[in-house]
């Protein structure tokens, strides 16, 4: 199966991971070591990069990418909740933009992959 993630999606996901890491870094430093916080924050992008179609089964790839997109969406929701309750580190507007850019492109990759599967299934049923 063709890789559902285009280079622009991957670049946006990486940039989003940088935005998420910058936003949460001061907040999470109080609760865990920095290396662990950074590892958790870049986990979704790492999963998208490391588990790709053709190297793993379609079900594994789909499930992993769906999990990564959900985690990125939850990070974005956390940024918005933090903004709503008053947590505003310097550069918060830019970090919010980067975070939402990432989950939007993660979900666009999921949708593109679903449309490809739908088309493949429709052709095989004819």
pLDDT at residue 46 above 60?
Answer: yes
Tokens 């958790």 belong to which residue? 40
Cα dihedral sign, 101-32-35-26: positive
| pLDDT value at residue 84 | 92
CB contact at 8 A, 88 and 19: no
Asked whether the whole model's pTM tops 0.85, one would answer no
Determine the 3-state secondary structure of 41 from DSSP: helix
The Cα–Cα gap between 29 and 94 comes to 20
Stretch among 24-28, 58-62, 85-89, 122-126 having the lowest mean pLDDT = 122-126
Angle 58-85/7-29 helices, nearest 10 degrees? Answer: 50
pLDDT at residue 125 above 80?
Answer: no
- Average per-residue pLDDT in the chain? 81
Could you count the other beta carbons within 10 Å of the beta carbon of residue 45? Answer: 23
Token digits for 89? 């580190």
């Amino acid at each position: 199966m063709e890789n559902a993630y285009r280079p622009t999606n991957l670049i946006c996901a990486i940039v989003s991971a940088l935005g998420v890491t910058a936003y949460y870094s001061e907040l999470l430093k109080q609760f865990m070591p920095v290396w662990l916080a950074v590892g958790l924050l870049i986990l979704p992008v790492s999963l998208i990069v490391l588990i790709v179609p053709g190297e793993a089964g379609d079900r594994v790839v789909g499930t992993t990418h769906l999990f990564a997109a959900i985690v990125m969406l939850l990070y974005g929701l956390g940024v918005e909740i933090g903004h709503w309750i008053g947590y505003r580190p310097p550069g918060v507007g830019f970090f919010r933009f980067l975070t939402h850019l990432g989950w939007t492109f993660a979900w666009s990759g999921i949708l593109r992959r679903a449309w490809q599967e739908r088309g493949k299934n429709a052709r095989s049923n004819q």
